Amino acid sequence: MRRFCSPAVIMMLVPGLLPAQGPDAGYAAADIRVLAPGVVYNAGLLDLAAAYTKETGKKVAITLVGMGRIVTAVKTDNPPADVIMLPFELMTTLSLDGGVVAGTFLPLGRSEMGLAVRAGAPHPDISTVEKLAAALRGAKAVMRSNPAGGSMVAKVIEDKVVKRPEFSGVNSPVSTQGEGGQALVRGEGDMALQAICEILPYKQIELVGPLPRQLGAWIDMATAVSSRATHRDDASAFIKYLLRPESNPVWKAKGLDRFL
């Protein structure tokens, strides 16, 4: 079952690694503990962690945390994460506060926002801001996530698209349950604005494409070893594995563009 971004914490042990004593104990006993938001969690991280475990035997546990409390989780959760993944701005602030191991702050990739339609529906031309605005105004309802829940994806969509004057007249209600893409899956609206990595898993909807670059509708992500890490060497090795060129196709296929 796919997990999705929410303010709650969800812990996932890579398949085959879940010990008998349960997920909490398994997370504490893992060789590498990872803290990540949905835009990374849903974009190939689980696949790469499983492959890493198969190659090295190292147990990887991944915690999904909503953007609204991820920095607090980095600083206070116990047992602490070894590898952390945050938007650039948040990672920069954490680094300046001594929250990451020096020299381990590295760019990870870009999570772009995209437009989804129901499976089989026509794909409008959204190659320019003007064409995107026309397509959205032609929809009965363009679903999106609720920024009040702390979702950075929802905030980017609201600030970079919904609030811009070019999109005046677009009917864009927030989803009352889950993400905008999930609302479209349930039959609400006829389009959705959502992170691409949170559109691709659903067969009931299709990605039209990323939003025009002029909008800057994306989240740039970084990774680092937490200063609270108890497995620093393993954490560094895992990050190196995630960033190697051979891992890029996995990220790309799930909706995260690596910085090359």
How does pLDDT run across 84-142, given as a tens digit for each residue?
A: 999 999 999 999 999 999 999 999 999 999 999 999 999 999 999 999 999 999 999 99
DSSP string, 127-142: SSHHHHHHHHHTSS-E
How far apart are alpha carbons 162 and 255 in whole angstroms?
A: 22
Q: Please say whether the beta carbons of 65 and 35 come within 8 A.
A: yes
H helix or E strand, kind and range, residue 171: none
Q: Is the domain defined by 112-215 classed in CATH 3.40.190.10?
A: yes
Give the model's confidence band at 33: pLDDT under 50 very low, under 70 low, under 90 confident, else very high. Answer: very high
pLDDT at 28: 82
Q: Please say whether the beta carbons of 221 and 40 come within 8 A.
A: yes
Residue corresponding to tokens 């893992």: 30
Which residue intervals of 141-247 are DSSP H helices?
152-157, 180-185, 232-243
Which tens digit of pLDDT belongs to each residue from 166-202?
Answer: 999 999 999 988 899 999 999 999 999 999 999 999 9
Specify the CATH superfamily of domain 9-109+219-258.
Periplasmic binding protein-like II (3.40.190.10)
pLDDT at 148: 87
Residue 181 CA, chain-centre distance (Å), reads 14
For the segment 32-57, the average pLDDT, to the nearest whole number, is: 95
Q: Please say whether the beta carbons of 197 and 258 come within 8 A.
A: no
pLDDT at 68: 79
Q: Please say whether the beta carbons of 80 and 30 come within 8 A.
A: no
Region(s) of the chain under CATH 3.40.190.10: 9-109+219-258, 112-215
Residue 226 backbone dihedrals phi, psi, to 5 degrees: -70, 145
